[in-house]
Amino acid sequence: MARVTVKGLWKRYGDTVVLENINLDFADHEFVTIVGASGCGKTTFLRILLGMEQPSKGRLLIDGEPVSPEPGPDRGIVFQRYSLFPHLTVLGNLILGLELRRSRVLGKLFGARRREAIVRAESILEAVGLAGARDRYPAQLSGGMQQRLSIAQSVIGEPRILLLDEPFGALDPGITADMHKLILDLWAANAMTIFMVTHDLKEGFELGTRLLVFDKLRHDPQAPEAYGAKVTYDIPLRRLKNDRERQRLAIVEASGSEPSYAPAG
Amino acid sequence: MPRLINRHPGRGPALMLGLVPFIVLIFAYLLGSHVRLAANPDDKLLPTPSTLMSTLHTYAAEEDVRSGQVLFWVDTMASLERILIALVLSASIGLAFGLAIGALPVVRAALAPFVAVVSMIPPLAILPILFIVLGLGEVAKIALMTLGIAPVIVRDLALRAAELPSEQLIKAQTLGASSWQLVTRVILPQMWPRLIDSLRLSMGCAWLFLIAAEAIASTEGLGYRIFLVRRYLAMDVILPYVAWITLLAFLMDWALKILRSRAFPWTDMSR
Ligand SMILES: Nc1ncnc2c1ncn2[C@@H]1O[C@H](COP(=O)(O)OP(=O)(O)O)[C@@H](O)[C@H]1O
Ligand SMILES: [Mg+2]
């Protein structure tokens, strides 16, 4: 369960207004895709959802409760790069989340508890297609494999909200269809609300149940920092819940073919 | 004909090329020694290889008449003990403070300026103070080396820890890591290989400070011996000792390098 409510949210850095009066309400298990010009505050919005940044004004509620002001296990994140631990193998990266939560002092599991964690991790590795790379280090993985692992690493902790900041932006266009299928499968199988920033409008339409467009509406050439970005379009893409599974299958079948652009507005 | 910049020697040729400067040096020495001794058979500056070997034998295989000890090994053990203690001490201080300063903004605010200032104190300038305060014994010598290299290691590790991508630290927090777990499971494991690099770079300074301290106040040690026999222009002792110190330093560096690649295989893979 994760209903996310954003009320009158502003974000400023000094005199620079980045986000201006954002008001949004997200249903549980929504897949929100966010597009917008570079530098218009998409990452900032995710950072606020994550708790890395505090809003200058306004409130952010998850299930009616204010969010904790620092990152925590209820919200997972996948960055474009650098979110894997280079000193741990693929398996080590994956079970780290379980170890940190189940062993508060050592942050390591041993014996039967470790074996149990490994069984769990292996089933996820299987699901994300990394079973064969179990003992490799991140530096030995391709970019696509690294992102799969980073996603798996977040999902194993069963976050209520998963945030993805241009997760496929640095990848080979040829493998994005696979990545889309993976993220949709994980979204269908887990009770989580997803927020995904993408610079690819097509991807935004294809994956989301709701598409947000961030843009600066007002612009003062004398003081470009005076106005921030707002949500200029908020497009519901598909009906939720009842036909979730059907959409997922449709997407999987359609991957590779032309996406169907939902009517805007 | 490819450009010079694109011409890579193979394994064999690379080895040969690497040996050339050593061979040139030895040859130059032999030539110089021959020329000088031909002009003056009592010349002490460049002794012949046989003189060097016989002196080394006297020092390394025979007991000293006065002390009844085999000086070469007594000196070696004394110096190695000092430098190893100082290195372990500096590594521990470097790791503890470097991690704390690099990982915890509160500690950074409190200690980083202090460490920055302390690391600028020329250690040899406070050597007299160390001797006055700590006496002429082992403590002062180890303190000199530690004061000389620990602050550098602290600063290096603090920088390295602060350099870790913030994405990693954020990710770990979303996986439920506490501050303690962040340090022990994410930061510390990535600092071990950095510590080894830092130690390798500090090794030269450590030997410098060791020899300086031994030269001034000691009764045994490699540095002590070199400075002792200097009065008699005993190049036949000094040269083998210098070669031996160089070999020891080289072996320590090599051992650390091997340890790094064996114990932390993931570091060599990273771009
Ligand atoms: N810590 C910060 N301090 C000052 N300005 C910042 C900071 N973080 C982001 N900004 C500014 O906020 C704006 C939005 O940045 P960002 O959210 O990263 O954009 P996007 O992800 O949409 O490309 C940019 O103009 C950026 O310069
Ligand atoms: Mg961004």
Q: What are phi and psi of B131, to 5 degrees?
A: -65, -40
Could you read off the pLDDT of B19-46 as tens digits, one per residue? 999 999 999 999 999 999 999 998 889 9
Is the model's pLDDT at A256 over the cut of 80?
A: no
CATH 3.20.20.70 for the A4-83+160-254 domain, yes or no? no
Is the model's pLDDT at A225 over the cut of 80?
A: no
Mean per-residue pLDDT, B207-224: 93
Q: What are phi and psi of A162, to 5 degrees?
A: -120, 125
Could you read off the pLDDT of B144-180 as tens digits, one per residue? 999 999 999 999 999 999 999 999 999 999 999 999 9
List the domain boundaries for chain B: 70-264
CATH number of this structure's domain B70-264 = 1.10.3720.10
Tokens 């005076």, residue?
A226
Q: How would residue A71 be classed by pLDDT, with cut points 50, 70 and 90?
A: very high
**For residue B268, what pLDDT is reported?**
77
Nearest beta carbon to residue B173 from set A71, A104, A153: A71
Mutate to test the interface with A, among B166, B170, B171, B190 (most CBs of A within 10 A): B171
Count CB neighbours of A16 within 10 A: 13
Distance A11 CA to ligand 2 centre (A): 15
Could you read off the pLDDT of B221-250 as tens digits, one per residue? 999 999 999 999 999 999 999 999 999 999
Q: How would residue A236 be classed by pLDDT, with cut points 50, 70 and 90?
A: confident
Which ligand is located closest to the Cα atom of residue A20?
A: 1
Q: pTM of this prediction?
A: 0.86
**For residue A242, what pLDDT is reported?**
46
**Could you give the ipTM of this predicted complex?**
0.85
A157/chain B closest Cα distance in angstroms: 7
Residue A132 CA to residue A139 CA, distance in Å, equals 15
Residue A189 CA to residue A182 CA, distance in Å, equals 11
Q: Which of B52, B36, B6 is nearest to B241 (CA)?
A: B52
**For residue B270, what pLDDT is reported?**
57
Mean per-residue pLDDT, A166-178: 86
Mean per-residue pLDDT, A110-125: 93
Cβ(A181)–Cβ(A209) below 8 Å = no
Residue nearest to atom 8 of ligand 1 (CA): A44
With contacts defined as CB-CB under 8 Å, which chain A residues touch B264? 87
Cβ(A214)–Cβ(A45) below 8 Å = yes
Query: In the predicted model, what is the mean pLDDT of chain A?
Result: 86
| Chain B residues with CB within 8 Å of chain A CB | 165, 167-168, 170-178, 180-181, 184-186, 189-190, 264-266, 269-271
Distance A195 CA to ligand 2 centre (A): 13
Q: Which of A147, A197, A153 is nearest to A170 (CA)?
A: A147
List the domain boundaries for chain A: 4-83+160-254
With contacts defined as CB-CB under 8 Å, which chain A residues touch B177? 100, 107
Spatial strand order of the sheet with A65-66 comes to A65-66, A57-62, A4-13, A16-26, A229-236, A210-216, A31-36, A193-197, A161-165, A75-78
Counting atoms of ligand 1 from 1, which one is nearest the CA of A197? 21
User: To the nearest 10°, the Cα dihedral for A129, A134, A140, A142?
Assistant: 10
Is the model's pLDDT at A264 over the cut of 50?
A: no
Residues in chain B: 271
